[in-house]
């Protein structure tokens, strides 16, 4: 009977331990999958930020090219105007005005480039941050999953230990009760086993 009680308790707690560890595995898997999803979101945001940085620089270059066209067209119109007035476009005020227009255009082009560079740099920083966040989420999920499995394993071992202890205790008590019952019945058994006629 004692062995049956011990085995039964161990079996019951063993089932609990297996179920508990399976639940821990499910929790760990859920944590990892959630982290994978978050990492994909960060990677998508990173690619979008990188694309935005490239797009800003491309738009800046197009704006500078367009500005150059406008400046050249303006200088051409100024020279034509002076020429129509009989002014030598290669000397004097005509040259000064053309130079001023060119310098102004160069300053504007530099401003466009600087603005585009700063904006692109901001997007690049965002991309770096998204990349770091993705890695952080992944590492944090791995640690969390490992801790969940470790905790689940320890709880399962605790369940098995509890089952062994309770099974042993139940078996020990049962054995003690059997011994006590045997001691109470011993005199009765001894009297009934005496030979007939003895002691008369």
CATH number of the domain enclosing 10: 1.10.287
Q: Could you tell me if residue 162 is inside a domain?
A: yes
Q: Could you tell me if residue 187 is inside a domain?
A: no
| pLDDT averaged over 10-residue windows placed end to end, the chain, 200 residues | 52 58 68 79 89 94 95 93 88 91 94 95 92 83 72 62 57 48 47 48
What's the confidence (pLDDT) of residue 200?
41
Range of the domain at 164: 2-179
Burial 126-160 (b: 16+ CB within 10 A, else e): bbeebbebbeebbeebeebbeebbeebeebbeebb
Rg of the chain on CA atoms, in Å: 45
Q: Could you tell me if residue 32 is inside a domain?
A: yes
Burial class for 76, CB neighbours closer than 10 Å (0-12, 13-18, 19+): exposed
Instruction: For residue range 5-36, list pLDDT tens digits in order.
Output: 555 555 555 655 665 556 666 677 777 778 78
Number of domains in the chain: 1
Q: Could you tell me if residue 77 is inside a domain?
A: yes
Confirm whether pTM is higher than 0.75.
Answer: no
Q: What is the average pLDDT value for the chain, to the nearest integer?
A: 75
The CA distance from 137 to 32, in Å, is 9
The angle subtended at Cα 74 by Cα 57 and Cα 100, nearest 5°, is 85
Q: Could you tell me if residue 186 is inside a domain?
A: no
The CA distance from 49 to 118, in Å, is 14
């Amino acid at each position: 009977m004692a062995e049956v009680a011990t085995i039964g308790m161990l079996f019951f707690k063993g089932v609990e331990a297996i179920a508990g560890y399976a639940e821990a595995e499910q929790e760990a898997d859920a944590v990892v999958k959630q982290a994978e999803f978050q990492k994909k979101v960060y990677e998508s945001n990173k690619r979008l930020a990188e694309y935005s940085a490239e797009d800003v620089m491309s738009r800046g270059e197009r704006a500078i090219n367009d500005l150059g066209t406008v400046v050249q067209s303006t200088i051409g119109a100024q020279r034509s105007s002076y020429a129509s007035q009989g002014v030598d476009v290669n000397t004097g005020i005509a040259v000064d005005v053309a130079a001023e227009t060119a310098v102004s255009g160069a300053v504007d082009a530099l401003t466009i480039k600087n603005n585009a560079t700063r904006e692109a740099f901001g997007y690049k920083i965002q991309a770096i941050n998204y990349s770091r966040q993705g890695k952080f989420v992944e590492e944090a999920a791995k640690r969390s999953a490992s801790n969940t499995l470790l905790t689940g394993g320890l709880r399962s071992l605790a369940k098995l230990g509890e089952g062994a202890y309770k099974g042993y205790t139940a078996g020990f008590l049962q054995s003690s009760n059997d011994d006590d019952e045997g001691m109470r019945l011993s005199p009765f058994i001894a009297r009934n086993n005496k030979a007939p006629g003895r002691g008369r």
